[in-house]
Amino acid sequence: MGTAQRRRRRLGIWALLLGVIASLGLPGAAPANAADSAVDVYGGCLVSEKAGDIMIVIDESQSLDANDPDNARITSAKYLLTQLNNFAKRTKVTLDVNVAGFSHNYDEAQGWTKLDDSGLKKTLETVDGFADRPYGWETDYWMALEGARRSLADHNPDGDRCQALVWITDGSLDLDFRKNQQQINDYGETKPYLSDTKLTSKAAEEKAEAEAERQICRNGGLADQLRSSDVTLFGVGLRGEESPDYTLMKSIALGGDAGGQKCGKITKPPGSFTEAADIDQLLFEFDKFSTPNQERKDTESGVCQGEPCPEERHTFVLDDSVQSVHIFGNSDVDEAEVYLVTPEGDELKLDRGTIGDSEKTDSDDVTIEHSWQSERTIVIDMSASAGAKGWSGPWSVVFVDPTGQSPDGKSRTSISIAGDVFPTWPDAEDAQVRSGEPNQIQLGLVNADGDEIDSTKLLGKVSMDATLQTADDQEIPLAQGLDGEGIAQPLDLDLTNVAPGEATLVLSLTITTKDATDSEGKTVPGTELKPQTVRIPVQIEPPPGYPSVSGQVNFGALEGKAEGAPGELTVAGPGCVWVEGNGAPNVLAGPEQIGEVSISSTHNSAENCLEIPDGQTATLPLQLTTEGMDNGTLNAEFTVKIAPTGEPDRVQDATASATASFEKPLNPVNFTLTLIVAAILGPGIPLALLYLMKFLTAKIPGRALIAEEYPVQVEAGQVLRDGGRFELKDRDLTTGMVPLANNGSRTAQAGSVTLNAKMGASPFGEGYVEVESPGRIGASSSDTRGHGKESYARLPLNVHNHWVLLQDPNGPADSATVLLLVAADAPAEVREKLVDDINARVPDVLEAIRMQVGAPSGGGDGSPFGGGPGGDGGPQPGGPAPFDFGPDMSGGPGGANPFGDPGQALPPGGPAPMGGPAPMGSAAPGPVPTPSGQASAPPASAASAPGSANPFDGGGQNPFAQSGDANPFAQGSSAQGSFAQGSPQAAPQQSASQQSAPQPPAQQQFGQPAQQQSAPQPPAQQQFGQPAQQQQPAQQQPHQGAPEQAGWGQQQPMEQPPAQQPPAQQPPAQQPPAQQGQQPPAQQGQQQWGGPASQQPSAPGSVPQEPASAPSSAGEPGPDQEPQFRPEAPPPGTQIRNPFEFGDNSGR
């Protein structure tokens, strides 16, 4: 097989790897001026600022199976990371790294990690996981770049870190329309940049591709937003079996018109693009990041035949000023041997080992480490301490063909000789240089630790150039060829014609090592090292007497449009400063739909300017306002007026920069409007309208959502997955896209469960989502108990970034399933927090929901608008109704808190607040307490609960009655009808026990004090709207377990029933005594929270007895059984407050 054939065979994987490296600084893709190459600019920033970030985004599309079958992208990315780690250690730079994949979406695999030895190990493992991830669909450039933009912006809120994006793909921008429901489920139906178009046709696909390209490359678009945030772009395109058109990608990476088509208007910082054809080319270019602030010495030679020969050597000279050497070499000969020749003439053969593994060789006091990165590429690293034996002198690398069959073979090396010497301006942070006058600065040399080096005592030769680059792209030469003596002298900096503002001082240092003598006594000239470049930010101050404006104004992360978002600009005195009008901002880049931008201040004229005394600093308050809202980063410049104190006629303009990150609200629901309407109209507002308004807003937001399920075991308080601690794997959360409409969805399929949006019983507040999981009970991270007859889990409407625990109650007690619901754009930090929360809470939650198995639960017919447990069709059985103000104001699903966030409501079957029946609904159906020794009656059937039908079904029943409630504002009424007490149509529906049992005390009429209560009336009593005076007063009787009901706005403590209490007297309307085993309707299901049924009052005349030892048919435990789970009741004396009472905040 010939060389060309082998190259094509290895093309895929290696091409990607090398492409990453090459994209970080490929000469062919860089501008003509080497000093302005992407790798030099980024490396120079790192050395100067000592802190930076690098984001690596790797294509995961299915085409990689063909284009990168050997996972070259993995090998090259790992090589890049290793070289960056070496560079960070040598230069004392703090470097953070993040790794993400992209296909139809963007998926961070790790999160930001400090690149040290520990972080490198973690990141290499993360990158290894990409070998199993070539299964993505589409190649969506917009998703990759937008995801990276957000991650970089979030990690650099102060804007003071050097940032770079390495972007690797094997294809051009490519979208596909969805051909079936499964593809819609997996990949979504729309795109964020074209949310009004469903990708269900070829025309829609082409429209989306065009829009993605437009949003990236428009002036101020995504490419400009990255570059105006000082993110250096390195693009790597892989050329495998196919030859994609990379014109767009190249244009994005380089900016402006440089890539073959126009992409944005900003070209600084410069970018880089590489189209790689083989692994060796890519590795060679990627190796530049071993010393990103320094060019390498590249040499080309031949290949010796049979044995090492002097004529084909790659020679370099070292002295004691050199710290280390990094050599990257390759040849076009398969199985070539490589020798390293020492100053003494020893030939050290660097044997081949496993690809990628390092081997060590020592020569005197010199440490030599080498690794073969491919069949033809070798990397050599040498180091020694100062004065080490065998270090100084001429070294060489030679390639040998042992077969002697390649006389025309070629070899090349790239040698980086790293002296621990860097150019610097020591006083850069404290010195002030002013516009309009001559200045002087003192340059110098330092090592990586910042220690000063005497430039006159270097062993070899030294030469330094200094250039000032202004904000308007002027380059002002300050010095050229300064030797050691010249560096030690002050440097004139004439700024007479330079305007105030930001600038960059570029220092370039070239060192030539000392001449040496070889083993044969011949003099070998020293090696001229490639320049080391440092870029130092400079603030050129205005003339004396004027205030100095510096720094960037960061308005932070904003949701929706900016409406006077606050910010501050630091100003140093003396002088006066203000912003006129809207600040005349020049928007460099920003979201398309934010419209007009204004940056204003309360100090908006010379008359009310902010005055700063000499020697002091102050902050100028600013406000950012935008016309609209959109997603993206705003970068702008605006004008600040400055003048000497008391001399407004000498005003000058200064330029300041501002930034802000915008995000559209997910699905805003105006709950405030409902509250205002309710407050103005009062309780007379039609409830149907309130329910309708709530129904229209009860939706799952249309934000992209991924759902995946994971089987787990809980052992000894630990959550285990595959035998180890629960963790996410590389391939997790990459598929399972939940189909959601852009304007929200009422139901969605998430794996094996169905997410159903419910509006809840209360007409106020927010709805919730029920997790329908037939055959399994559940709980969630937001509500740790099951609800309804099926014990389903509940979530807030915004289900994103939550977990659900599911368990088969008939299966093993320690086995369960965790369902993760994660926003597709959620950063790694959010995913890590979810994992930590699962490990911390799932054991207790699993135990709690298993205790609920078999416990009584509420019934009631379901409503399409949601509601309480088991029923959703109206007020929570056994819990608060829409106008109940019981003790739990947490905002639980079902409507406890009319305005709060979803949380936990009252427990199923629990009593109504204040000790009486549930307002606007009877107590929850449950086991009917009976006299001692008898089995409990079965729970009331949900289907048979009168009055619990859909409030909007038009079936002729009271749309707000449940379980026999008549007036929705009367508590505990046993009559039925359309807002009437005692409707004749309702009377026949009462059971015999309800008709014959003694009646409870009269319940308080809505809005009336207790003494105006009326006794239960026979059928055909007061109709809705008739005066309450028509009812007859009733004698108040003490009644066990049912204290008087407090009036609207009154407070009533919870009371414990006395140990012995005489039976209640019969009310004036005589009825037959209750039969044994029957219970007054007001007492059904009203047992105290946490108390057994035996605490409930028995029928009049019965003798209390000990409870039966056997469990009841309704599930009540006997004395030998484990008690069922019931939440604890509020302690006696708890004050139950009305949240609408003036000054009360409990209803929030």
Distance separating alpha carbons of residues 1114 and 855, to the nearest angstrom: 9
DSSP β-bridge partners for residue 95: 52
Q: What pLDDT score was predicted for residue 280? A: 66
Asked if residue 733 lies in contact with residue 820, where contact means CB atoms within 8 angstroms, the answer is yes
Cα 516 to Cα 326, 395, 408, 661, distances in angstroms: 20, 10, 31, 57
* Residues whose CB is less than 8 angstroms from the CB of residue 206 and which lie 6 or more positions away in sequence, other chains included: none
- Structural tokens at position 87: 């560079």
Render pLDDT for 580-631 as a digit per residue (tens, 0 to 9): 988 779 999 999 889 999 999 999 999 999 999 998 999 999 999 999 988 8
Amino acid identity, position 66: A
Which structure tokens are listed for 1076?
Answer: 């044994």
Beta bridge partners of 164: 54, 232
Give the pairing of strands 548-550 and 563-572: antiparallel
Cβ-based neighbours of 730, under 8 Å, separated by 6 or more: 109, 126, 129, 130, 132, 133
- In a 3-state reduction of DSSP, which class is residue 189? coil
Residue 172, classed as helix, strand or coil, is coil
Distance CA 1001, CA 1004 (A): 9
- Going along the chain from its start, the domains and CATH numbers come out as 3-160+226-242+265-290 (3.40.50), 297-419 (2.60.120.1290), 422-541 (2.60.40), 548-663 (2.60.40), 671-851 (no CATH)
Cα–Cα distance between 1056 and 1064 in angstroms, integer? 17
Residues 62, 137: Cα–Cα separation, whole Å: 6
What counts of helices (H) and strands (E) characterise the chain? 17, 51
Angle 869-871-877 (CA atoms, 0-180°, nearest 5)? Answer: 60
For the chain, which residues score pLDDT lower than 50?
1-35, 667-671, 674-675, 678, 855-1148
Name the residue among 670, 673, 694 with its Cα closest to residue 759.
694
Pairing verdict, β 358-363 and 347-349: unpaired
CB under 8 Å to 683, separation ≥6 — which residues? 883, 969
Q: Which residues contact 267 (CB under 8 A, 6 or more apart)?
A: 227, 254, 255, 256, 258
Give the list of residues 6+ apart from residue 728 with CB closer than 8 angstroms, or none: 831, 835
DSSP-H helix ranges across 896-996: 992-996
Other beta carbons less than 10 A from residue 241's beta carbon? 12
Evaluated on CA atoms 1076, 1078, 1082, 1083, the torsion sign reads: positive
Q: How far is CA 233 from the centre of its chain?
A: 22
Q: Which tokens go with 1033?
A: 């007063």
pLDDT, residue 137, reads: 86
791 close to 775: Cβ distance less than 8 angstroms: no
Place of tokens 């040698």: 415
CA–CA gap between residue 144 and residue 516 (Å, rounded): 52
Give the model confidence (pLDDT) of 775-796 as tens digits.
899 999 988 878 888 889 999 9
Contact 196, 174 (CB under 8 A): no
Burial class (CB within 10 angstroms; exposed 0-12, middle 13-18, buried 19+) of 766? buried
pLDDT (0 to 100) of residue 163: 96
- How far apart CA 513 and CA 320 sit, in angstroms, is 9
